[in-house]
Amino acid sequence: MRCLVVYDISDDRVRAKVADACLDYGLDRIQYSAFLGELTPTHRRELVKRLRKLLGKKPGKIQLFPLCDHDWARRDEIVQEK
């Protein structure tokens, strides 16, 4: 299932590790603090566990949103080329 991961983390080191973890799971960066990609339920659980451990007791917020095909097809996208 497609999954959107977004985060707001002030600690540069933790933020970089979260981004690396998302890349390790094959997610594509779509914004500075947003990743999107296909995750199996098992990989999603593993990633949540890993991200929780990386954040530890540092302030921050990480959200994972599963997106079904129906919702994905209904998305609006605006792309402005330079």
Q: What is the mean pLDDT of each run of 10 residues along the chain (82 residues)?
A: 95 96 97 96 96 96 95 90 86
Q: What is the CA radius of gyration of the chain?
A: 13
- For 75, phi and psi rounded to 5 degrees? -65, 155
Question: Concatenated DSSP letters for 33-66?
Answer: TEEEEE--HHHHHHHHHHHHHHHTTSSEEEEEEE
pLDDT at position 79 = 87
Write down all domains in the chain, each with its CATH number in brackets: 2-73 (3.30.70.240)
pTM assigned to the model: 0.90
